């Protein structure tokens, strides 16, 4: 199956969910045009409070729609944009990609994966019990975060549902994704 974008979302205000859009525009070094998390420096409120000069490693939030299927089996109805992602994908195991992976989106846009989204209590405020559903444990007890990945924009361009995603792995040795 060809990995693809199934939905795009944006929100100009600091609320949990993002609004579905017919298209978004990625801006190199900044993020999603008009989105509250767009900027060269960190935009997440708690991170700004700690150090507003930090680089923004969370310019674009990508989520695999297969998580929605898994959550539906647990009784949660989640739609694209509900969990705050900008780009919802299908047929791509985002969580298995190493840090530094390039995702080429459509004819021009490129994002570079920086790390995992670290889910916070806002998820439970959105749907009670959802935080536990987006976390898991490996057989040896390590925490698995399933709430998507974060990326920075290397090359801008428009993104719409239906666009193909091409994966370009970084040079080895690969680094596993960690929360950013």
State the burial class of residue 50 (Cβ atoms within 10 Å of its Cβ: 0-12, 13-18, 19+): exposed
Q: Is the pLDDT of residue 148 over 90?
A: yes
Write the pLDDT tens digit of every residue in 11-25. 999 999 999 999 999
More confident residue, 178 or 44: 178
pLDDT at 121 over 90: no
Percent of the chain with pLDDT strictly greater than 90: 92
What pLDDT is stored for residue 120 in this prediction?
85
Q: Which of 152, 138, 129 is nearest to 74 (CA)?
A: 129
In sequence order, the 6+-apart residues with CB closer than 8 A to the CB of 116 are 95, 145, 147, 148, 149, 150, 177, 178, 179, 180
Residue 48 has a pLDDT of: 84
| pTM metric for this prediction | 0.96
Question: How much is the average pLDDT of 58-83?
Answer: 97
- Ordered by where they begin, the domains of the chain are 4-168 (2.40.33.20)
What's the rounded mean pLDDT across residues 42-51?
86
Q: Name the average pLDDT for the chain.
A: 96
């Amino acid at each position: 199956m060809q990995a693809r974008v199934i939905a795009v979302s944006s929100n100009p205000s600091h609320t949990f969910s993002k609004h579905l859009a017919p298209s978004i525009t990625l801006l190199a070094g900044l993020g999603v045009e008009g989105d509250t998390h767009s900027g060269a420096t960190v935009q997440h409120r708690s991170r700004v409070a700690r150090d507003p000069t930090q680089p923004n490693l969370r310019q674009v939030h990508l989520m695999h729609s297969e998580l929605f299927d898994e959550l539906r089996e647990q009784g949660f109805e989640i739609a694209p944009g509900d969990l705050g992602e900008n780009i919802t994908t299908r047929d791509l195991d985002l969580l298995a990609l190493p840090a530094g992976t390039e995702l080429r989106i459509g004819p021009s846009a490129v994002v570079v994966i920086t790390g995992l989204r670290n889910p916070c209590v806002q998820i439970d405020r959105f749907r009670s019990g959802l935080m536990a559903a987006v976390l898991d444990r490996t057989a040896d007890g390590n925490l698995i975060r399933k709430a998507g990945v974060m990326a920075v924009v290397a090359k801008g361009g428009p993104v719409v549902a239906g666009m193909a995603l091409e994966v370009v792995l970084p040079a080895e040795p690969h680094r596993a994704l960690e929360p950013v």
